[in-house]
Amino acid sequence: MKAVTSLYLAQARQFLRDRMTLLFVLLLPVGFAVFFGLVFSGSSAFVLRIGVVNEDTGAAGGALVAGLPHEAYDLQVDGRQALEASLRQGDVHAVMILPADMSERLASGLSVPVEVLYDPANSTSAGVGLGLVRTLLSEANLGLAGAPQLLEMRPTSLQVEHARAIDFYLPGMLGVALLWLGVFGTAQPVMAQREGKIFRRFQVTAITRVTILTAEVAWRVTVGLLQAAIFLLVGYFGFKVGVADWLPFAASVLMGTLVFVSLGYALAGIGRSPEGTMAIGQLLNFPMMMLSGSIISADMLPALFRPVVAAMPLTYLSDMLRQTMVGAPAMHPMGLDFAILGAWLVGLLAIAVWRWRWE
C-alpha cells in the first residue's frame, strides 16, 4: 500500500505540474463546453417547438396528436406548407408528418413511416428536437404494442423545458474530456515514461509490476472523477445544470473513464514511438469527437455515417451522460449503453494487456 501511495502521489505531481497535460485534459474540454454553450445559445429562454402535420385520413393521427404531452415543449399542429416555412425560419425545430394512410396501415398491422423534417443549419435545437420526436414515437409504439387502446399514451415529462445549448454541450464535452484523458492523459504520458525508461527504473525496486499499474490506473481514474467534478461545478454555478440522476451518472463517468483509460494504454502498446502513438490517437480522436453525437447531434449526420456512429464508445457515453445529467431523451436504453461500453472495456483492456511493453 505504501508503494502504491508513493507512486500515486508521484503520478499526481507529475500530472498536475505539467501545464500542457493540465490544459488539454482538465481545462480545455470544459472551456469548449462553455464556449459552444454560449456561442450557440440565442438566449437561455429557449423553448423547443415541435410541429405536427396530421395528414391521416382516419382517426389514429388525431388521437396521437391529442395524446401528445404539452408540458415540455410547444406543439404546433398545422399544414405541411405552413410548418415547412416555420422550420425554415427557425420558428419550429422539427416537424413530424403523420402520413395519410396511417390509420389504414395500423389497422392492417403494418408499420407507419413518419417523416421528420429538421434544419441541419440549426444543429443544437434540431438535435434536441429529433431526440424528442424519437421519444414521442417510441412512447406511441409502446402504447401500440401493449395497450388495448392502440393510441392511448402516457404523458411523460421529458425534462427539456429549458433546452439550452449548454445542456447539449456540457454532457457531450464531458464525454470528450474522458476521451482526451485516454489519448492525451494516458497514452501520451505512458509513452513518455516508457521512452524515459521510468517504468524500467521502477522494475529494479522492491515492488511488482502490478503495483506500478495499480497506482497508474488509480491516478487516471481520479483524473476522470476530477474532470466530472469540474464539469459539475462549472455547470452548476455557471449555468444551473445539475445532475438528474446521481447514481447512473457516477456509473457513467466511471465506466467512461475506464474505457478511455484502457484505450490510452492500448494506444501506448500499439504505437512504436510517441509520435506514432499520437498519430493513431488523433486518427481516433477526431472522428470520435465529431461523429459520436458529443458535439454534433448524431441524428443530423448522413445515413452513411450511422454504422460509424453506432460503433463508437463515445456515442454511448455521451448518450448516458445526457440522460443522467440533463434528463435528455434517450438515444438508447441506459442498459444497452452500459453493455456496449462494457464490451468496449473488455476489448480495449485485452488489447492493452496483450500489447503492453515496459520498455
Partner 1 sequence: MEAAIEVSDLRKTYGGVPAVDGISFQVAQGEVFGLLGPNGAGKTTTVECLLGLRSADSGRLQLLGSERGAQDPAVRSRLGVQLQTTGLLSQLTVREQVALFSGLFPRALPAAQVLQAVGLDDKAGAATHALSGGQKQRLAVALALVNDPELVFLDEPTTGLDPQARRGLWEVIGDVRQRGRSVLLTTHYMEEAEQLCDRVAVIDHGRIIEMDSPEALIRKHFREQAIEFVARGSGPRPNLESLAGVSQVLAQNGGTALFSTDVPATMAGLFDLVSRGQLAFDDITIRKATLEDVFLKLTGRRIRS
Q: Which residues bind partner 1 (CB under 8 A)?
A: 2-3, 5-7, 9-10, 13-14, 17-18, 193, 196-208, 359
Q: How far is the CB of 165 from partner 1 (least distance, A)?
A: 37
**What's the gap between Cα 97 and its chain centre?**
28
Residue 275, all three cell numbers? 509520435
Nearer to partner 1, 15 or 249 (CB): 15
Q: How far is the CB of 37 from partner 1 (least distance, A)?
A: 33
Nearer to partner 1, 286 or 358 (CB): 358
Q: How far is the CB of 310 from partner 1 (least distance, A)?
A: 41
Location of C-alpha cell 395497450 = 147
Q: How far is the CB of 8 from partner 1 (least distance, A)?
A: 10
* Share of the chain residues as helix, strand and coil, in percent rounded to the nearest 5: 70, 5, 25
Distances (CA, A) of 125 to 87, 122, 129: 11, 6, 6
Report which DSSP code applies to 154. Answer: -
Nearer to partner 1, 5 or 156 (CB): 5
Q: Which of 299, 231, 324 is nearest to 94 (CA)?
A: 299
Nearer to partner 1, 7 or 25 (CB): 7
Cα–Cα distance measured from residue 359 to residue 201, given in angstroms and rounded to the nearest whole number: 10
Ramachandran bin of 91, using left for φ above 0, alpha for ψ from -120 to 50, beta for the remaining angles = alpha
Q: How far is the CB of 42 from partner 1 (least distance, A)?
A: 44
Nearer to partner 1, 14 or 159 (CB): 14
Nearer to partner 1, 40 or 356 (CB): 356
Q: Which long-range contacts (CB under 8 A, 24 or more apart) does 277-284 make?
A: 277/187, 277/188, 277/191, 278/183, 278/187, 278/188, 281/183, 281/184, 281/187, 281/188, 282/183, 284/183
Q: How far is the CB of 11 from partner 1 (least distance, A)?
A: 8
Q: How far is the CB of 192 from partner 1 (least distance, A)?
A: 9
Exposed/middle/buried for 219, CB within 10 Å: 0-12, 13-18, 19+? buried
Nearer to partner 1, 86 or 203 (CB): 203
Q: How far is the CB of 120 from partner 1 (least distance, A)?
A: 45
Quick one: CA dihedral 152, 244, 320, 349, positive or negative? negative
Nearer to partner 1, 57 or 208 (CB): 208
Nearer to partner 1, 116 or 207 (CB): 207
Q: How far is the CB of 18 from partner 1 (least distance, A)?
A: 6
Distances (CA, A) of 117 to 53, 87, 93, 167: 11, 8, 9, 22
Exposed/middle/buried for 131, CB within 10 Å: 0-12, 13-18, 19+? buried
